[in-house]
């Protein structure tokens, strides 16, 4: 859509049309909602001032990119948003050349812009990278690493800081505290006293008004001080919903020829009154009725996250040394309940996974029992800290890995299928996966008692109800749920146990079923015993094949020189798994119980 020749009134109408389209589609499909509604005018300004065919358009996280998609020839296709085979909920270059980079994790945008600016300079081109970043992403240390270099190198980059007052208080808050101390000091107070005396002497009738304006001026420059001190020019705050002001400001910033931050104040959910403001539950939504704002709820069992939250809360009441942390996902991980109950023992450290891990390592060193609760896909961001600060010291930290496995509509950037592979090779790490709700509770009790680093993975949504009663976890002890008369052993890990059970029911054979429980350390005695009884082993786990559960078992067989076992793993191939409803994704991957049963039968 070419908007460069449009008048302000025409742009305002386009903004309304974009909002209507977003409400229409997201109310049916679900997706990121309030953040993207709040970024409509800013996105229009980007497309008006910059050239999307030339200038890199970089969206941080990119959950606010729906207006960008609608402005880049995806209006009709937008109805497929987050559906299997349809548009991604994030930017995706394979989907459109207008999408500069894949984005789904926070705080990568300014680093990307710095890299793009370096390349542009080396090529001798005049393109200008433009970034849209939300205030929440400013809580990550990676942003300041990038700003530090950008302020030194002075590459032309325009950064639009979309400030909807959701999270910026955290990074700016610390600076404000420092400034508060400074402003309370003798130097400032002496300066302020002189100003007050001058005002009283020369403007006796306007003293109160002028003093108030003076204080407001000090407050106004507070956010800008951070960036100016780093060598980044600062403009703002501006009204992030005033199209004319946005265009004028971005045009100035583009032509400055150096790094500039444009601070825009916006309202999340703008244009849909029920979502306007700081309402976390409108950030990412499921289907809802657009007129009433009522969410369309399906009757579901208690989620694994809720089970974790309730159990850990009970344990925290019992064990006073339990502490915990999450990284900007308090409600998503269920830690919000514990923060509310024990604010001095549980923390949200914002988008700072590295800091979360290392700070809890120190608490473990001091005798506390930390539970680090982070989504599988985000825990990747703290990998070095897991290795260097937790496992090397063999500290008894528990990693509660939420959203492990396929997570559905968020797609490639969020699928939690790699945690087994990237944690299993680290010395001292213990890896376990509960098969159902009751075993998750047992796993948390085991984690509390474990003397080494321990990772517990559990899925998004609810576990299936199984016919086998859960039993407590003992280190490196698996559980044979069912003997078999035939030559087949199904090995399940975590949610893979339910899939193994459901697959076995579709096969006319008497199949043995093992709940592995631990992928590290393995139950060597049980596996050696079963290798004498069953020669065809099938592995079920909601994880990547490379370095996964099947790999662990193959390593065991190799070390023990057991050569007569035929092993087939039903873990995922060496691909990034696309977005869509989980059942559709599993069907595409060929891992539904019906599909797996046919494979087993064909090999029997």
DSSP 580-601: S-HHHHHHHHT-SHHHHHHHHH
Per-residue pLDDT, averaged over 588-597, amounts to 96
Pull the structure tokens for residue 251.
Answer: 């045009």
Kind and range of the H or E run holding 371: strand 369-375
Q: What is the pLDDT of residue 57?
A: 96
Asked if the model's pLDDT at residue 206 lies above 70, the reply is: no
Q: What is the pLDDT of residue 209?
A: 58
Same domain, 354 and 253: no
Asked if the model's pLDDT at residue 320 lies above 80, the reply is: yes
Residue scoring higher pLDDT (408 or 254)? 254
Range of the domain at 501: 479-603
Q: What is the pLDDT of residue 227?
A: 81
Phi-psi region of 406 (alpha: psi -120 to 50; beta: other; left: phi over 0): beta
Per-residue pLDDT, averaged over 28-37, amounts to 89
Per-residue pLDDT, averaged over 173-180, amounts to 42
Query: Which CATH number belongs to the domain containing residue 582 in this structure?
Result: 3.40.50.920
C-alpha dist (Å) from residue 475 to 452, 520, 599 = 11, 9, 33
pLDDT range class, residue 220, cuts 50, 70, 90: very low
Q: What is the pLDDT of residue 228?
A: 80
Same domain, 310 and 272: no
Q: What is the pLDDT of residue 537?
A: 98
Asked whether the beta carbons of 90 and 104 are under 8 A apart, the reply is yes
Q: What is the pLDDT of residue 188?
A: 45
Q: What is the pLDDT of residue 457?
A: 98
Asked if the model's pLDDT at residue 143 lies above 80, the reply is: yes
174-188, 230-244, 344-358: lowest mean pLDDT where? Answer: 174-188
Distance CA 290, CA 288 (A): 6
Asked whether the beta carbons of 585 and 578 are under 8 A apart, the reply is yes
pLDDT range class, residue 213, cuts 50, 70, 90: low
Q: Of 426, 457, 488, which residue is a domain's last?
A: 457
268 carries an active-site annotation: yes
* Number of separate domains in the chain: 3
Three-state DSSP class for residue 263: strand
pLDDT range class, residue 26, cuts 50, 70, 90: very high
Quick: pLDDT tens for 260-289: 999 999 988 888 888 887 666 777 788 888
Sequence-separated (6 or more) residues with CB below 8 Å from residue 20:
none
Asked if the model's pLDDT at residue 175 lies above 80, the reply is: no
Query: Is residue 198 in some structural domain?
Result: no
Per-residue pLDDT, averaged over 598-603, amounts to 92
Q: What is the pLDDT of residue 370?
A: 98
Q: Which of the residues 69, 311, 353, 441 is marked catalytic? A: 353
Query: Is residue 270 in some structural domain?
Result: yes
Asked if the model's pLDDT at residue 62 lies above 80, the reply is: yes
Same domain, 595 and 502: yes
pLDDT range class, residue 176, cuts 50, 70, 90: very low
Three-state DSSP class for residue 208: helix
Identify the CA nearest to 64 among candidates 24, 97, 31: 31
Three-state DSSP class for residue 537: strand
Identify the CA nearest to 171 among candidates 340, 351, 358, 35: 351
Same domain, 267 and 346: no
Identify the CA nearest to 503 among candidates 534, 541, 460, 550: 541
Q: Strands, DSSP E only, in 108-167?
A: 130-134, 158-163
Pull the structure tokens for residue 385.
Answer: 């800290």
Pull the structure tokens for residue 226.
Answer: 């951070």
> For 550, what's the count of Cα atoms within 13 Å in the CB-facing half-sphere?
22
Phi-psi region of 397 (alpha: psi -120 to 50; beta: other; left: phi over 0): beta
Q: What is the pLDDT of residue 173?
A: 40
pLDDT range class, residue 229, cuts 50, 70, 90: confident
Distance CA 87, CA 263 (A): 30
Three-state DSSP class for residue 425: coil
Same domain, 521 and 410: no
Same domain, 327 and 273: no
Sign for the CA dihedral angle at 74, 78, 80, 84 comes to positive
Same domain, 331 and 391: yes
Query: Is residue 206 in some structural domain?
Result: no
Distance CA 575, CA 587 (A): 15
Asked if the model's pLDDT at residue 212 lies above 80, the reply is: no
Pull the structure tokens for residue 576.
Answer: 């990034």
The DSSP call for residue 551 is: H
52-61, 206-215, 399-408, 567-576: lowest mean pLDDT where? Answer: 206-215
Sequence-separated (6 or more) residues with CB below 8 Å from residue 230:
144, 147, 148, 150, 151
Asked whether the beta carbons of 85 and 77 are under 8 A apart, the reply is no
pLDDT range class, residue 205, cuts 50, 70, 90: low
Q: What is the pLDDT of residue 217?
A: 54
Same domain, 270 and 354: no
Query: Is residue 294 in some structural domain?
Result: no
Query: Which CATH number belongs to the domain containing residue 352 in this structure?
Result: 3.40.50.970
Query: Is residue 193 in some structural domain?
Result: no
Pull the structure tokens for residue 217.
Answer: 């001026």
20-24, 104-108, 452-456: lowest mean pLDDT where? Answer: 104-108
Distance CA 33, CA 284 (A): 6
Same domain, 251 and 145: yes
Asked whether the beta carbons of 38 and 269 are under 8 A apart, the reply is yes
Give helix then strand counts, H and E, for the chain. 23, 19
Quick: pLDDT tens for 1-15: 789 999 999 999 999
User: What share of the chain has pLDDT > 90, as a percent?
Assistant: 75
State the maximum Cα–Cα separation within the chain, in Å, rounded to a whole number: 101
Same domain, 56 and 132: yes
Q: What is the pLDDT of residue 203?
A: 62
Q: What is the pLDDT of residue 333?
A: 95
Same domain, 409 and 536: no
Per-residue pLDDT, averaged over 187-209, amounts to 59
Asked if the model's pLDDT at residue 182 lies above 60, the reply is: no
Asked if the model's pLDDT at residue 193 lies above 90, the reply is: no
Asked if the model's pLDDT at residue 169 lies above 60, the reply is: no
Q: What is the pLDDT of residue 569?
A: 97
Query: Is residue 421 in some structural domain?
Result: yes
Q: What is the pLDDT of residue 455?
A: 98
Q: Is 196 exposed, middle or buried (0-12, 13-18, 19+ CB in 10 A)?
A: middle
Distance CA 175, CA 182 (A): 10
Q: Rounded to an integer, what is the distance from CA 356 to the centroid of its chain?
A: 14
C-alpha dist (Å) from residue 56 to 8, 50, 90, 92, 402 = 24, 9, 16, 13, 34
Q: What is the pLDDT of residue 211?
A: 59
Mean pLDDT, the chain, rounded, equals: 90
Sequence-separated (6 or more) residues with CB below 8 Å from residue 424:
431, 519, 520, 547, 548, 552
Please calculate the CA angle 365-369-375 and round it to the nearest 5 degrees.
110
Q: What is the pLDDT of residue 178?
A: 44
Per-residue pLDDT, averaged over 78-83, amounts to 94
Distance CA 372, CA 455 (A): 9
Q: Which of the residues 74, 92, 268, 460 is marked catalytic? A: 268
Quick: pLDDT tens for 411-470: 899 999 999 999 999 999 999 999 999 999 999 999 999 999 999 999 999 999 999 999
Three-state DSSP class for residue 239: strand
Q: What is the pLDDT of residue 289?
A: 82
176-190, 349-363, 478-492: lowest mean pLDDT where? Answer: 176-190
Please calculate the CA angle 48-54-57 and round it to the nearest 5 degrees.
65
Query: Is residue 462 in some structural domain?
Result: no
Q: What is the pLDDT of residue 272?
A: 86
Would you state the torsion angle of the CA atoms of residues 46, 50, 53, 56, taken in this order, to the nearest 10 degrees? -70
Query: Is residue 474 in some structural domain?
Result: no
Sign for the CA dihedral angle at 459, 463, 464, 468 comes to positive
Q: Which of the residues 82, 92, 270, 381 is marked catalytic? A: 381
Q: What is the pLDDT of residue 31?
A: 87
Same domain, 37 and 151: yes
Residue scoring higher pLDDT (204 or 478)? 478
Residue scoring higher pLDDT (163 or 112)? 112
Distance CA 62, CA 101 (A): 10
C-alpha dist (Å) from residue 103 to 100, 109, 371 = 9, 8, 28
């Amino acid at each position: 859509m070419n908007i460069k020749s449009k008048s302000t009134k025409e742009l305002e109408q386009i903004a309304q049309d974009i909002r209507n389209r977003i409400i229409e589609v997201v109310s049916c499909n679900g997706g990121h909602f309030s953040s993207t509604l709040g970024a409509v005018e800013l996105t229009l300004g980007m497309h008006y001032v910059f050239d999307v065919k030339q200038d890199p358009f970089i969206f941080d996280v990119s959950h606010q990119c729906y207006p960008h998609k609608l402005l880049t020839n995806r209006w009709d296709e937008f109805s497929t948003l987050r559906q299997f085979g349809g548009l991604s909920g994030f930017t995706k270059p394979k989907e459109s050349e207008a999408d500069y980079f894949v984005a789904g994790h926070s705080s990568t945008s300014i680093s990307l812009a710095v890299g793009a600016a370096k390349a542009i300079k080396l090529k001798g081109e005049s393109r200008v990278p433009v970034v849209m970043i939300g205030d929440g992403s400013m809580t990550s240390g990676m942003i300041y690493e990038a700003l530090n270099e950008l302020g030194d190198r002075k590459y032309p980059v325009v950064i639009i800081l979309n400030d909807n007052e959701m999270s910026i208080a955290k990074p700016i808050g610390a600076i404000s505290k420092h400034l508060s101390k400074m402003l309370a000091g003798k130097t400032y107070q002496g300066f302020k006293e002189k100003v007050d005396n001058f005002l009283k002497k020369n403007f006796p009738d306007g003293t109160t008004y002028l003093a108030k304006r003076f204080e407001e001026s000090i407050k106004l420059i507070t956010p800008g001080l951070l960036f100016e001190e780093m060598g980044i020019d600062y403009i703002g705050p501006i009204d992030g919903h005033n199209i004319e002001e946005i265009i004028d400001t971005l045009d100035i910033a583009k032509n400055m020829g150096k790094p500039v931050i444009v601070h825009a104040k916006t309202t999340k959910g703008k244009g849909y009154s029920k979502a306007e403001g700081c309402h976390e539950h409108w950030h990412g939504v499921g289907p809802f009725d657009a007129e009433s704002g009522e969410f369309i709820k399906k009757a579901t069992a208690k989620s694994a996250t809720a089970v974790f939250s309730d159990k850990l809360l009970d344990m925290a009441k019992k064990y006073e040394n339990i502490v915990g942390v999450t990284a900007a996902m308090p409600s998503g991980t269920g830690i919000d309940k514990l923060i509310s109950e024990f604010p001095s023992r549980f923390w949200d450290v914002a988008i700072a996974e590295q800091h979360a891990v290392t700070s809890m390592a120190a608490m473990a060193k001091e005798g506390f029992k930390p539970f680090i609760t982070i989504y599988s896909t985000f825990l990747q961001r703290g990998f070095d800290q897991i290795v260097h600060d937790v496992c090397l010291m063999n500290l008894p930290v528990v990693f509660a890995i939420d959203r492990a496995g396929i997570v559905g509509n968020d797609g490639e950037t969020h699928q939690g299928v790699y945690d087994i592979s990237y944690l299993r090779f680290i010395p001292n790490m213990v890896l376990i996966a509960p098969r159902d709700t009751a075993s998750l509770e047992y796993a948390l009790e085991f984690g509390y008692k474990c003397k080494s680093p321990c990772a517990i993975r559990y899925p998004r949504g609810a576990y299936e109800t199984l016919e086998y009663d859960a039993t407590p976890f003992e280190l490196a002890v698996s559980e044979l749920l069912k003997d078999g008369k035939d030559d087949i052993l199904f090995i399940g890990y975590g949610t893979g146990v339910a899939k193994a059970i459901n697959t076995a029911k579709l096969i006319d054979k008497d199949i043995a079923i093992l709940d592995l429980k631990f992928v590290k350390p393995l139950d060597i005695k049980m596996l050696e015993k079963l290798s004498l009884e069953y020669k065809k082993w099938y592995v079920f786990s909601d994880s990547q094949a490379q370095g996964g559960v099947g790999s662990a078992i193959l390593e065991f067989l190799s070390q023990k020189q057991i050569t007569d076992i035929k092993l087939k793993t039903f873990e995922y191939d060496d691909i990034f798994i696309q977005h869509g409803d989980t059942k559709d994704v599993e069907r595409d991957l060929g891992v539904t119980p019906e599909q797996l049963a046919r494979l087993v039968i064909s090999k029997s």
